[in-house]
Amino acid sequence: MNPTNSNNLIQLIKRGDEKAFETLYRLYANNLFVIARSYLKDDFLAEEVVQGIFISLWDRRKELHIRGNTGGYLFKMVKNRCLDILRKPRKLISMEDETVLLENKLNFKALQDKEAAFLLEEELEKRIEEAVALLPKTCKKVFLKTKVDGLNYKETAEELRISVKTVESHMTKALKHMRLHLREFLSCFSLFGGIPFL
C-alpha cells in the first residue's frame, strides 16, 4: 500500500474513525501475524501479540505520532513485543518446552526477518521510483548508470561525456536526495542489512 494512504488512515484513526481502523487491521494483520510467528513459533502467542498491538494502537490513538511508513512502525511494535516475550523467563515448563525456549533465545537475534522485509519491500520500491523520478535529468542519468547499470565513475563519465568530478558531484547530490526521500525506510532496513545503494 502507498505510504501516503497508510498515513491518511492513521490520521482518520486519530479522530476515532472505526472503519479506518478496520481497514488498517485488514491490510496488516496477516503479515504481522506471520512475522510474530516467525519469532515465537507459536500461533496462539503470535495472534495474541498482533491483537495486543492493534488494541494498544486504538487505545492510544489520540497520541499517535508515526514518523515514516505505517508498515515499518507496526513491524517494529510486533518485533519488540516478540523479543520481550522471548527474553522473559518461563516457570514450570517441560524439558521439551525448555529446549524450544533455549533454541529461540539462541536464534532470535539471527532471524533474517524475511517476512518483514517482504512486507516493506513494495512500499520501498515505490518510494525509490518516486525519488529517482524527482532527480534532475543529468543527475538521474548518473545515478542510474552507477547504481543500476553498475558502471564505475570513470565509465559513467565516458558514456555521458562528462568529467569524473562532475559524476562525483552528481552522485553526492543524488545520494543525499535519495537518503532524504527514503529516510523513514533507513531504520527499518538497517535490520536487514540496509538499502544496498545507500
| Number of domains into which the chain is organized | 2
CATH number at 23 reads: 1.10.1740.10
Which of 41, 76, 111 terminates a domain? The answer is 111
Same domain (yes/no): 23, 56: yes
Same domain (yes/no): 101, 166: no
Least confident window among 44-48, 72-76, 109-113? 109-113
Q: Looking at the domain assignment, is residue 96 inside a domain?
A: yes
Q: Looking at the domain assignment, is residue 151 inside a domain?
A: yes
- The CA-atom distances, in angstroms, between 185 and each of 23, 52, 98, 119, 194 are 22, 24, 37, 12, 9
Q: What is the span of the domain harbouring residue 90?
A: 3-111
For residues 165-177, average pLDDT: 92
Same domain (yes/no): 28, 77: yes
Q: Looking at the domain assignment, is residue 118 inside a domain?
A: no
Q: Looking at the domain assignment, is residue 95 inside a domain?
A: yes
Task: Give the three cell numbers for residue 135.
Answer: 532527480
pLDDT of residue 39: 83
pLDDT of residue 117: 53
Q: Looking at the domain assignment, is residue 17 inside a domain?
A: yes
Q: What is the mean pLDDT of the chain?
A: 76
CATH number at 167 reads: 1.10.10.10
pLDDT of residue 12: 86
Same domain (yes/no): 11, 74: yes
Same domain (yes/no): 13, 86: yes
pLDDT at 64 over 50: yes
Q: Looking at the domain assignment, is residue 169 inside a domain?
A: yes
Same domain (yes/no): 148, 183: yes
Asked whether the whole model's pTM tops 0.75, one would answer no
Same domain (yes/no): 92, 147: no
3-state helix, strand, coil in the chain (%, to 5): 80, 0, 20
Which of 82, 111, 140 terminates a domain? The answer is 111
Task: Give the three cell numbers for residue 158.
Answer: 565516458
On the 0-12 / 13-18 / 19+ scale of CB atoms within 10 A, 25 is middle
Same domain (yes/no): 135, 48: no
Same domain (yes/no): 54, 33: yes
Q: Looking at the domain assignment, is residue 15 inside a domain?
A: yes
DSSP string, 83-123: HHHHHS--SS--HHHHHHHHHHHHHGGG---HHHHHHHHHH
Same domain (yes/no): 171, 150: yes
